[in-house]
C-alpha cells in the first residue's frame, strides 16, 4: 500500500473499515490493524475511531480464541479511546471488567486490564473513595518511624504509587503531604527496602528521598553500595540502584569507605571502581582538582587492560535505565556521564577491548556473544579519533560489520565539523 499524504491515509482507513465490517480478518491481519491504528491515530481522525465500534465486541466474543500477543495488543488498543463516544467507552469498560474475572489467574494480564480501565476513567470514583484507606495506611506507618515493620510498609506504600489498581489515590495522598512528612515517608521507605531481598522500584525511592538534599539521610543509602548479585534476575535495576547510591552519597558529601582490596574477580573490581568514580565526581563539597585526583586509583583498575573487565562493566552501566540518576542530573545537576569527562580513558578501554575481544569478561552470568565487542565499537565511535578508523575497518566484513561501519561514519562526521 502506497501513501501520498493525508488523503491516502484516510483512504487506507476506509479500506480497513470495509475489512472490519466483513468480519473476515485473520489474527495476523487483526494484529497489523491494531499496530496501524497506533501509528496513524494522531494523524487522522478516521484511524483514531476505526476500532471504536468493534473493540468491545472482539474482546467479549472472540477473546478465548486469540493468542497471547494479540490479547496484549487488544488491551493496549483500549488506551486509544480518546475519540470514542460515551456509549462506546462504556461498552469497552464493561468488556474489560468481564475480562478481570476471566483472567484472574493470569499473572500479568489483570494489571494490564486495570491500567486500561484507568485510562478510560473507569476507576476515578473508586480512587476518590479509596483515598481514605490510603490516609489510614499513612497514619499507621507514621505511628512509629523506627519500627522495621512500618519501614517495610513505607516501601510498600511507595510501590503502590505506581503498581496498584488505585495508584492515583496513592499519588493524590502523597502530594498532600508536607515536605517534612514526605521526607519522613521516603526515609522510612529506603530503610525498609534495605532488608528486602528483592526490591522492585527501589531506584525511584532513592531519587525521591535524595531531592530533599538532607545529609542526615545519607546513612540509609550505604546498604545499597553492596555489589549486585551476578545472578540478579533484574540486572538493569540492580545496576541502577548500585550506581544511584554512590552518586547520591557523593552528592550529599557523605564520606564512605571505597576499597577494592577484598574483591578477587576483575569484573567486581571494575564495577566498584566505576561507581567510585561517580561518587568522587559528585562530591560537590570538594574542589574540582580534588575530585579528579580522587578518581586516580579507580582509573588504575579500569585501565588494567589485561584484566579485560572494564568494557563489559561500562556496557552494563550504560545498559541500565539509570532514570533516577538522569532525573537527578536534570533536577539537581548531578554528574552521570563519566565518558564526557574522561573521553581519552574511555577510548583507550574501547580500543583494547576491540583489539582483544577474546579476553573480555561480562559482570553478570549471562554473557551474549559479541555484545561487549559491539558496545566497544559503538563506544569508540563516540570518543575515538580518525586514527581509530583503521582498527574499526578490520571488522567491516565480519558479523559486527554494521556496527563498525556506523562507528567509522560517526568518527568521520565528528572530525569533519
Tens-place pLDDT, residues 98-124: 888 888 777 678 788 888 888 888 777
Average pLDDT over every residue of 215-241: 93
Contact by Cβ (8 Å): 247, 338? no
DSSP annotation string for 319-380: HS--HHHHHHHHHH-----HHHH-HHHHHHHHHHHHH-GGG---SSS---TTHHHHHHHHHH
What dihedral do alpha carbons 403, 409, 411, 415 form, nearest 10°? -170
Helices first, then strands: H and E counts in the chain: 23, 0
Q: How many angstroms from the chain centroid is the CA of residue 262? A: 31
pLDDT of 290 higher than 80:
yes
Distances (CA, A) of 320 to 191, 197, 339: 23, 19, 15
pLDDT of 6 higher than 60:
no
CA distance 387 to 367: 30
Record the cell numbers describing residue 394, joined without a space.
Answer: 578490520
pLDDT of 10 higher than 80:
no
Contact by Cβ (8 Å): 413, 389? no
Q: Which of 216, 186, 202 is nearest to 244 (CA)?
A: 202
- E strand map for 65-109: none
Backbone CA torsion sign across 160, 178, 219, 318: positive
HSE (CB half, 13 Å, CA atoms) of 175? 8
pLDDT of 318 higher than 60:
yes
How many C-beta neighbours within 10 Å does residue 268 have? Answer: 18
Record the cell numbers describing residue 388, joined without a space.
Answer: 581509530
pLDDT of 2 higher than 50:
no
Say which residues have a Cβ less than 8 Å from residue 156's Cβ, sequence separation at least 6: 192
Give per-residue pLDDT as tens, 300-309: 999 999 999 9
Q: What is the pLDDT of residue 354?
A: 97
Q: What is the pLDDT of residue 237?
A: 92
Record the cell numbers describing residue 272, joined without a space.
Answer: 566498584
Q: How many angstroms from the chain centroid is the CA of residue 142? A: 30
Average pLDDT over every residue of 260-265: 75
- For 55-90, b/e burial (b = at least 16 CB within 10 A) is bbebbeeebeebeeebbbbbbebbebbeebeeebbe
| % of the chain at pLDDT higher than 90 | 62
Record the cell numbers describing residue 387, joined without a space.
Answer: 586514527
Between 146 and 52, the more confident residue is 146
Record the cell numbers describing residue 381, joined without a space.
Answer: 565511535
Distances (CA, A) of 46 to 40, 55, 77, 83, 119: 9, 15, 15, 10, 21
Q: What is the pLDDT of residue 178?
A: 97
pLDDT of 345 higher than 90:
yes
Amino acid at each position: 500500500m502506497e501513501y501520498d499524504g493525508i488523503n491516502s491515509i484516510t483512504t487506507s482507513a476506509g479500506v480497513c473499515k470495509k475489512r472490519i465490517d466483513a468480519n473476515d480478518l485473520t489474527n495476523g491481519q487483526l494484529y497489523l490493524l491494531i499496530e496501524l491504528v497506533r501509528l496513524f491515530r494522531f494523524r487522522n481522525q478516521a484511524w483514531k475511531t476505526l476500532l471504536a465500534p468493534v473493540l468491545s465486541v472482539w474482546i467479549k466474543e472472540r477473546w478465548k480464541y486469540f493468542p497471547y500477543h494479540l490479547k496484549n495488543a487488544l488491551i493496549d488498543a483500549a488506551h486509544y479511546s480518546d475519540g470514542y463516544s460515551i456509549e462506546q467507552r462504556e461498552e469497552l469498560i464493561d468488556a474489560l471488567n468481564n475480562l478481570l474475572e476471566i483472567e484472574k489467574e493470569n499473572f500479568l494480564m489483570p494489571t494490564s486490564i486495570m491500567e486500561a480501565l484507568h485510562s478510560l476513567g473507569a476507576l476515578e470514583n473508586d480512587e476518590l473513595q479509596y483515598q481514605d484507606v490510603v490516609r489510614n495506611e499513612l497514619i499507621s506507618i507514621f505511628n512509629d518511624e523506627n519500627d522495621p515493620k512500618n519501614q517495610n510498609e513505607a516501601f510498600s506504600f511507595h510501590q503502590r504509587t505506581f503498581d496498584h489498581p488505585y495508584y492515583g489515590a496513592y499519588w493524590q495522598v502523597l502530594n498532600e503531604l508536607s515536605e517534612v512528612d514526605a521526607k519522613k515517608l521516603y526515609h522510612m521507605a529506603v530503610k525498609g527496602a534495605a532488608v528486602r531481598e528483592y526490591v522492585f522500584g527501589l531506584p525511584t525511592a532513592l531519587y525521591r528521598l535524595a531531592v530533599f538534599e538532607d545529609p542526615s539521610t545519607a546513612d540509609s543509602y550505604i546498604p545499597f553500595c553492596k555489589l549486585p548479585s551476578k545472578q540478579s534476575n533484574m540486572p538493569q535495576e540492580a545496576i541502577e540502584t548500585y550506581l544511584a547510591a554512590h552518586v547520591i552519597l557523593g552528592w550529599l558529601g557523605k564520606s564512605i569507605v571505597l576499597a577494592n582490596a577484598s574483591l578477587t574477580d576483575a569484573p567486581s573490581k571494575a564495577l566498584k571502581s566505576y561507581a567510585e568514580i561517580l561518587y568522587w565526581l559528585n562530591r560537590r563539597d570538594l574542589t574540582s582538582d580534588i575530585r579528579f585526583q580522587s578518581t586516580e586509583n579507580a582509573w588504575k583498575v579500569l585501565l588494567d587492560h589485561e584484566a579485560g573487565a572494564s568494557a563489559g562493566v561500562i556496557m552494563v552501566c550504560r545498559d541500565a535505565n539509570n532514570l533516577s540518576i538522569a532525573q537527578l542530573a536534570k533536577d539537581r545537576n548531578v554528574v552521570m556521564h563519566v565518558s564526557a569527562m574522561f573521553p581519552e580513558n574511555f577510548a583507550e578501554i574501547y580500543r583494547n577491548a576491540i583489539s582483544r575481544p577474546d579476553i573480555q569478561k561480562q559482570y553478570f552470568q549471562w554473557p551474549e556473544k559479541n555484545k561487549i565487542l559491539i558496545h566497544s565499537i559503538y563506544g569508540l565511535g563516540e570518543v575515538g579519533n580518525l586514527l581509530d578508523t583503521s582498527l574499526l575497518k578490520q571488522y567491516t566484513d565480519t558479523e559486527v560489520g554494521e556496527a563498525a561501519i556506523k562507528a567509522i561514519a560517526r568518527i568521520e562526521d565528528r572530525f569533519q565539523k
